[in-house]
Amino acid sequence: MSKKIMNCVIIGSGPAGYSAAIYAARADLNPILFLGFQPGGQLTVTTDVDNYPGFPIGISGNELMENCKKQALRFNTLIIHKTITEVYLSNQKGGVHFINIENKENIESKGIIIATGSSPKFLGLDKEKKFIGLGVSFCATCDGYFHKGKDVAVVGGGDTALEEASYLSKICKNVYLFVRKNYFRASKALQNRILKKKNINIFFCYQVIEIIGDRFLEGIKIMNNKDKNTKILFISGLFISIGHTPNTELFKNQLNLDKNGYIIVERGGTSTNKPGVFAAGDVQDPIYRQAITSAGTGCMAALDLERYLYLY
Contact assessment for residue 142 and residue 15, using Cβ atoms and an 8 Å cutoff: no
- Please state whether 127 falls in left (phi above 0), alpha (psi between -120 and 50) or beta: left
User: In whole angstroms, what is the distance from residue 34 CA to residue 101 CA?
Assistant: 9
What's 251's DSSP letter?
G
Identify whether 139 is a catalytic site residue: yes
48, 143, 282, 285: the catalytic one is 143
User: In whole angstroms, what is the distance from residue 27 CA to residue 104 CA?
Assistant: 30
User: In whole angstroms, what is the distance from residue 98 CA to residue 280 CA?
Assistant: 20
8, 142, 172, 299: the catalytic one is 142
**Count of CB atoms situated within 10 Å of the CB of 228:** 7
Identify whether 142 is a catalytic site residue: yes
**Count of CB atoms situated within 10 Å of the CB of 9:** 24
139, 282, 285, 304: the catalytic one is 139
- Catalytic residue numbers read 139, 142-143
